[in-house]
Structure 1
Amino acid sequence: MLKTFRAWLKGSRLEWIDHVPTLEEEQIPVHVTFLENESVIDKQARGRRMAEILEKLPVSQALTDIEPVIWQQETRQDLQLSPY
């Protein structure tokens, strides 16, 4: 079974985050996968865009043709309750 250890890559060195593997002075082949790291600027821009869309929603009257009670009855999948 493969073991996975989390680490930070700093320059050419790995800094272990959680559990540290037991290593001697041996060379161990590894595979490193860079996970996409969304920047703070991207998150802020996405948040501003979402706020703009939510502000426009009431004006657009996009949901005016939905009857809330009927929608809830169609959407919910309640089970019949037993009398006991």
Structure 2
Amino acid sequence: MLRTYEGILEGDRVRWAGEDVPATDRPLRVHVTVLEEETAEEERGQQMADALSKLADSGAFSEIEDPSAWQRTIREDRPLPGRNR
């Protein structure tokens, strides 16, 4: 059975914050998960997916007939030898 212990990371040390921590004098193998960073990354991904879904639903850019030509115009690409004919 996995148990979770609350602690505070201070440099390279963990200070236990909860009362239900193992009482031992020997080294203890632990797994630490930083939830704030994972949650923020997951939220960013979900926000991006939501934004792209709304963009697709709105039909934005649907009037562009040739996306490649549009990109070249927007980026002001120079013709490359043997590539743009």
Q: Do the structures match in fold with TM over 0.5?
A: no
TM-score normalised to structure 1 length: 0.42
Higher helix content, 1 or 2:
2
TM-score normalised to structure 2 length: 0.41
